[in-house]
Amino acid sequence: MPDQSAGASIEALEEILGADGVLTDAVDTAPFLTDHRRLYHGQALAVALPRSVEQISRLLAYCNERHVGVVPQGGNTGYCGGATPDESGREIVVSLQRLNHIRSVDSLNYSLVAEAGCILADVQRAADDAERFFPLSLGSEGTCQIGGNLSTNAGGTSVLRYGMMRDLVLGLEVVLADGRILSSLSALRKDNTGYDIKSLFLGAEGTLGVITAASIKLFPKVRSSATAFAAVSDVRAAIDLLARLREASGDRVSSFELIPRIGIDLTTRHIPGVTDPLGRPYSWYVLCELTSSRAADPLDDVIEEALASALEDGLVLDAALARSERERDALWKLRETIPEAQRLDGANLKHDISIAVSALPGFVERASRWVHENVLDGRLVAYGHVGDGNLHFNLNQAPGSDRNTFLAREAPLKRAIHDLVREFGGSFSAEHGIGRLKVGELERYASPVELDLMRAVKRAFDPNGVLNPGKVLSSAALRAGLTGSAEPACAVQRSP
Ligand code: FAD
Ligand code: MLT
Ligand code: ZN
């Protein structure tokens, strides 16, 4: 029986992973110990760089026996601190970066098997090389990994048409807490054989197993597209326009993103090469894209006609159509660099919320009014995947304000915004997950029944609590055998 209090030994790790598979030097480990927003700074006994599923299996079996915490890490682009170890210096970060092969592509089955450490953009390219399309698309796609996408159930800009990462998965290969390997790399679209175990790992943020590979869905390649940037009078007009475009295009809207004026101001100021696509300023804009797998589908005509009639009816105030791939890229650069421009502009607080699309205008009106009246040193930067009801209801410190005073507002601000989201029947985490950042929010807003079931699942998959401890669910609550939530769950949800 191993001495559990002894933790892990570097010699044993090197025996499992080889000397070049274990980083301990502070300079080498530093990039793995901080999240990219620099909200969390952890310590680790070592960073493991396994080359094979078998090495991960042996590593997990060893850590499980000794009760050593293991923190899976992909591209480290997550927003909730889920990939950062705690401050104890006893945990081991397991980076998936060396498991980065595309194992197979099956064009006729419209599927592909990728290892967890594959960069998302490389998976998109592999699909494209096979004359197919993998639709998941995020601003971080040049860095994030498919394992991280699966573990956060990532969303992004094409969910409206293709769904979230969960909807794009056929099968998984996962190493369990005790080192056993779940090999379920199915290529099947239909398989009703008992509980859908793989589902549990999607969005589990590394707390139930380490994903090592996935079988994912591909789609026909996009061969025609039309991209427009339109100024709209308000959020209501934006969602009315979305409904019109869906009808007019035969539901070929693949992206529909809301951008506020401040999004243009921030990106044109901080990101080289970004310009305002329209001649004069407006309060709100949408970036919308229609796509089709048919070559020469007249989507430009469809979008132009729909926008012209919306212009006549006063829904749209002005619009620009991308006439070349370069112009399309410029519009997407504007949208996708808003988070970076926010970062460059100063301290910011993020609220990744979702509400039913029809209720968004009412929410934005109420929440914006509250921010304007109560956060005098902050500026609202509310943008995002409005076609999915997902807004990044973010705030930046106002020019000339004090960074620390602004950041000190985080807790009351979060409480006010998330309580309002609850009142509108929405979610406080639409696509970024829970990680470390939102453990308290989950305890506040999930019902006792949901928390009971989540803790029961965690205990069943990871009885020793070694997989990403303290992420998603509080370790203290798990240890204490708590059932339900500490606070009463939301009572009646009233509609806006
Ligand atoms: P990491 O940050 O490394 O890890 C995230 C979580 O997954 C952690 O809990 C980690 O422990 C776990 N994990 C990672 N790999 C594995 C594995 N193999 N097995 C088990 N657990 C694992 N997100 C969106 O959803 N939509 C967006 O539009 C979006 N835009 C973004 C834009 C920018 C500029 C940036 C910086 C981030 C954006 N994100 C977005 C957030 C982030 O990119 C996603 O959450 C992404 O899926 C994280 O992938 P990653 O490989 O970086 O994971
Ligand atoms: C995005 O959609 O750009 C990100 O998910 C939002 C963010 O950085 O808050
Ligand atoms: Zn987003």
Domain residues of the chain, as ranges? 10-95, 102-220, 224-339, 347-423
pTM check: above 0.85:
yes
73 lines ligand 1 (CB under 6 A): yes
Centre of ligand 3 to C-alpha 431, Å, is 7
Strands 219-220 and 132-133: antiparallel
In this prediction, residue 92 carries a pLDDT of 98
Evaluate whether 253 touches 158 at the Cβ level (below 8 Å). Answer: no
Centre of ligand 2 to C-alpha 384, Å, is 7
470 lines ligand 1 (CB under 6 A): no
What is d(CA 175, CA 96) in angstroms, rounded to the nearest whole number? 12
In this prediction, residue 480 carries a pLDDT of 84
Answer whether CATH 3.30.70.2190 is correct for domain 224-339: yes
Residue partners of 37: CB distance under 8 A and separation at least 6:
79, 343
Q: Supply the residue whose CA is at minimum distance from atom 46 of ligand 1.
A: 149
Q: What is the DSSP string of 18-52?
A: -GGGEE-SHHHHGGGSB-TTS--B---SEEE---S
Evaluate whether 441 touches 175 at the Cβ level (below 8 Å). Answer: no
Do the domains 10-95 and 102-220 sit in the same CATH topology, yes or no? no
In this prediction, residue 489 carries a pLDDT of 43
Burial group, residue 175, by CB count within 10 angstroms (0-12, 13-18, 19+):
buried
Q: Supply the residue whose CA is at minimum distance from atom 9 of ligand 2.
A: 392
263 lines ligand 2 (CB under 6 A): no
255 lines ligand 2 (CB under 6 A): no
Long-range contacts, stretch 183-186, CB < 8 angstroms, 24+ apart: 185/113, 185/213, 185/214, 185/215, 186/215
Answer whether CATH 3.30.70.2740 is correct for domain 347-423: yes
Centre of ligand 2 to C-alpha 245, Å, is 24
What is d(CA 52, CA 299) in angstroms, rounded to the nearest whole number? 46
In this prediction, residue 443 carries a pLDDT of 97
* Residue from 137, 333, 349, 352 to probe ligand 2 pocket by mutation (most atoms less than 8 Å from CB): 352
Four-point Cα dihedral 264, 269, 275, 277, nearest 10: 20
- Domain 102-220 fold is 3.30.465
Evaluate whether 269 touches 342 at the Cβ level (below 8 Å). Answer: no
Centre of ligand 2 to C-alpha 385, Å, is 9
Structure tokens at 54: 């078998």
- The ligand that comes nearest to the alpha carbon of residue 140 is 1
In this prediction, residue 113 carries a pLDDT of 98
**pLDDT (tens place) for every residue of the chain, 496 residues total:** 566 767 889 999 999 999 999 999 999 999 999 999 899 999 999 999 999 999 999 999 999 999 999 999 999 999 999 999 999 999 999 999 999 999 999 999 999 999 999 999 999 999 999 999 999 999 999 999 999 999 999 999 999 999 999 999 999 999 999 999 999 999 999 999 999 999 999 999 999 999 999 999 999 999 999 999 999 999 999 999 999 999 999 999 999 999 999 999 999 999 999 999 998 999 999 999 999 999 999 999 999 999 999 999 999 999 999 999 999 999 999 999 999 999 999 999 999 999 999 999 999 999 999 999 999 999 999 999 999 999 999 999 999 999 999 999 999 999 999 999 999 999 999 999 999 999 999 999 999 999 999 999 999 999 999 999 999 999 999 988 877 765 544 333 333 2
82 lines ligand 1 (CB under 6 A): yes
Backbone angles phi, psi at 152, to 5 degrees: -100, 0
392 lines ligand 2 (CB under 6 A): yes
Kindly provide the b/e burial profile for residues 261-274, where b requires at least 16 CB atoms within 10 angstroms of the residue's own CB: ebbbbbbeebbeeb
75 lines ligand 1 (CB under 6 A): yes
For 235, the 3-state DSSP assignment is helix
394 lines ligand 2 (CB under 6 A): yes
CATH of 10-95, one of 3.30.450.20, 3.30.43.10, 3.30.70.2080, 1.20.140.160: 3.30.43.10
- The ligand that comes nearest to the alpha carbon of residue 388 is 3
Question: Which ligand 2 atom sits nearest the alpha carbon of residue 338?
Answer: 3
Q: Supply the residue whose CA is at minimum distance from atom 8 of ligand 2.
A: 339
Question: Which ligand 1 atom sits nearest the alpha carbon of residue 339?
Answer: 34
For 266, the 3-state DSSP assignment is helix
What is d(CA 319, CA 327) in angstroms, rounded to the nearest whole number? 14
